[in-house]
């Protein structure tokens, strides 16, 4: 079916429930979830929940709001989330199928044009990533031209959409920023990916105009704080600036800087000097902290980093998470006992992590029913490792999956029930067991940690 026709049909079906009755500020956001994975929808503005509603017996929901803080929101249906742009007076309807979340998403009603355009741009970016990855080996001038070409195609579509439909200046600016910062990410990444692809020993010399777009960077645009391309650009950009600064000022330290305290100190100082918008500032400080701490530097360097973090990032919203991670990493060092963490067996019994450990080495690995591709890959890898290491016991710990679905996946894939465990508390598992990498494993023997940060593909 033609996608535009589908928009119209869904809009006609929804007309009766999307009546604002003349209220210029009243907002309605409603929809239908096919194959729901939760019984509720939560609407957020930034990190703050605006409201939550339950699905009805037909898997439909409706938010009725007196007014909103206009701009980018996102709605969360566990475990998925998606953007929705809302302005006062909007009457939006959404329909999606969780089996194909982003691709099945359709907006209709007042406000549909900007939301369907933003969705199209997000999906286009995902599709063009393969293309962009294939051209990093090109010379900088040619690479620049190709990125500009992709950018201009999308900007042209935006202008066409603006000419055909009523789009507010604020919505237009957001869409333009999405396009621009998505393209700029590739430009920031180019020198590093080019060196890797080309095999060159040093960074390629870039034309003076290569980073011309940087003169237009707004480091403190509150409306873009939670726009993923803007945030991702800031991460790449700050890393690039830190590398350039270190290369100019720090001599041979640059070649080993990316995994070390020194380089991350540069990034902390750059965030402190460039970013004043609190939410973006806090989020970027968090990103640097978690990225550094998970690289498992020495305990002394970790302590110094935390001290620097405290000095520069006062009252960070994420301080508790970061300090908890820091303490968790200290507690997961070799020769320390496994943490006191409760899991559930297939039969429903509570089991302590330390009680699963036998005299033979045990490898704890992690999987989720929400990531079928990862589950297939890691199951295949475990089968290989069992043949290569018959003296090891491989134990799966499931995260973020409904218990019934977890059991169904165990049975349908003929997994050994005695080697599969489930946790209902995802956040506690992440913080206690430091599960930030889906390929992470914990190797233990006799209840004592051997390596809490092993990798299922690289460590065996």
DSSP string, 367-432: EETT-HHHHHHHHHHHHHHHHH-TTSEEEEEEES--HHHHHHHHHHTT--GGGEEE-S-HHHHHHH
Would you give the distance in Å from CA 396 to the centre of its chain?
A: 23
What residues does CATH 3.40.30.10 cover in the chain? 342-455
Residue-wise burial string across 261-273, b where 16 or more C-beta atoms lie within 10 A, e elsewhere: bbbbbbbbebbbe
pLDDT of residue 252: 58
pLDDT at 120: 93
Q: What is the structure's pLDDT at 251? A: 64
Q: Which two tokens mark 363? A: 């490898």
Domain made up of 342-455: CATH architecture: 3-Layer(aba) Sandwich (3.40)
State which H helix or E strand residue 307 sits in. Answer: helix 299-312
| Mode of pairing for the β-strands spanning 342-345 and 48-54 | unpaired
Q: Which of 214, 217, 189 is nearest to 203 (CA)?
A: 189
Q: What is the pLDDT of residue 11?
A: 44
CATH 2.60.40.10, the chain: domain bounds = 3-108
Cα–chain center distance at 15: 34
pLDDT at 253: 56
- CA-closest candidate to residue 72, choices 57, 59, 83, 88: 83
pLDDT in single tens digits along all 460 residues of the chain:
444 444 444 444 444 445 555 567 899 999 999 999 889 999 999 999 999 999 999 999 999 999 999 999 999 998 788 999 999 999 999 998 887 777 788 899 999 999 999 999 998 988 899 899 999 999 999 999 999 999 999 999 999 999 999 899 999 999 999 999 999 999 999 999 999 988 888 888 999 999 999 999 999 999 999 999 999 999 999 999 998 888 777 765 555 554 578 889 999 999 999 999 999 999 999 999 999 998 888 888 999 999 999 999 989 999 999 999 999 999 999 999 999 999 999 999 999 999 997 678 999 999 998 888 999 999 999 999 999 999 999 999 999 898 999 999 999 999 999 999 999 899 899 989 999 999 999 999 999 999 999 999 999 8
Fold of 3-108: Immunoglobulin-like (2.60.40)
- Return the structure tokens found at 254: 């640059």
End-to-end CA distance of the chain: 49
Decide: 135 and 198 in contact? Cβ < 8 Å: no
Residue 139: helix, strand or coil by DSSP?
coil
Q: CA 438 to CA 1: how far, in whole Å?
A: 37
How high is the pLDDT of residue 198? 86
Q: Do the beta carbons of residue 339 and residue 425 sit within 8 Å? A: no
């Amino acid at each position: 079916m033609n996608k535009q026709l589908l928009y119209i049909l869904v809009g006609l079906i929804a007309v009766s429930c999307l009546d604002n009755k003349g209220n210029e500020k009243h907002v309605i956001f409603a929809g239908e979830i096919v194959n729901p994975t939760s019984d509720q929808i939560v609407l957020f503005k930034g990190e703050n929940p605006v409201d939550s509603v339950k699905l009805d017996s037909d898997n439909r929901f409706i938010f009725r709001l007196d007014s909103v803080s206009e701009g980018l929101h996102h709605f969360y249906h566990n475990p998925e989330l998606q953007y929705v742009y809302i302005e006062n007076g909007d009457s939006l309807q959404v329909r999606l199928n969780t089996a194909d979340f982003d691709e099945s998403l359709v907006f209709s009603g007042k406000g549909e044009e900007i939301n369907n355009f933003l969705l199209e741009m997000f999906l286009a970016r995902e599709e063009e990533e393969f293309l962009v990855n294939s051209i990093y080996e090109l010379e900088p001038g040619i690479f620049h031209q190709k990125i500009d070409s992709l950018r201009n195609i999308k900007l042209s579509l935006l202008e066409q959409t603006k000419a055909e439909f009523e789009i507010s200046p604020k919505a237009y600016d957001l869409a333009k920023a999405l396009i621009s910062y998505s393209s700029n990410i590739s430009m920031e990444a180019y020198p590093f990916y080019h060196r890797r692809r080309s095999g060159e020993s040093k960074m390629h010399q870039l034309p003076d105009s290569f980073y011309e777009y940087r003169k237009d960077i707004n480091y403190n645009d509150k409306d873009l704080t939670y726009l993923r391309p803007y945030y991702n650009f800031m991460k790449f950009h700050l890393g690039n600036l830190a590398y350039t600064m270190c290369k100019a000022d720090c001599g041979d330290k640059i070649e080993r800087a990316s995994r070390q305290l020194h380089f991350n100190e540069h990034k902390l100082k750059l965030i402190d000097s460039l970013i004043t918008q609190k939410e973006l500032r806090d989020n970027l400080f968090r990103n640097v902290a978690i990225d550094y701490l998970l690289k498992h530097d020495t305990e002394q360097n970790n302590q110094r980093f935390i001290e620097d973090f405290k000095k520069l990032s006062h009252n960070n919203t994420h301080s508790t998470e970061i300090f908890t991670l820091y303490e968790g990493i200290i507690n997961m060092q070799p020769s320390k006992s496994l943490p006191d963490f409760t899991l559930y067996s297939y039969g429903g019994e509570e089991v302590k992590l330390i009680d699963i450990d036998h005299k033979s080495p045990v490898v704890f690995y992690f999987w989720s029913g929400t990531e079928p591709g990862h589950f297939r890959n890691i199951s295949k890898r475990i089968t290989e490792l069992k043949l290569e290491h018959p003296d090891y016991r491989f134990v799966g710990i499931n995260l973020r999956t409904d218990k019934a679905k977890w059991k169904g996946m165990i049975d349908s894939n003929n997994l050994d029930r005695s080697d599969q465990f489930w946790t209902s508390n995802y956040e506690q598992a992440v913080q206690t067991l430091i599960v930030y990498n889906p390929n992470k494993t914990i190797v233990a023997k006799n209840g004592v940690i051997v390596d809490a940060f092993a990798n299922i593909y690289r460590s065996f």
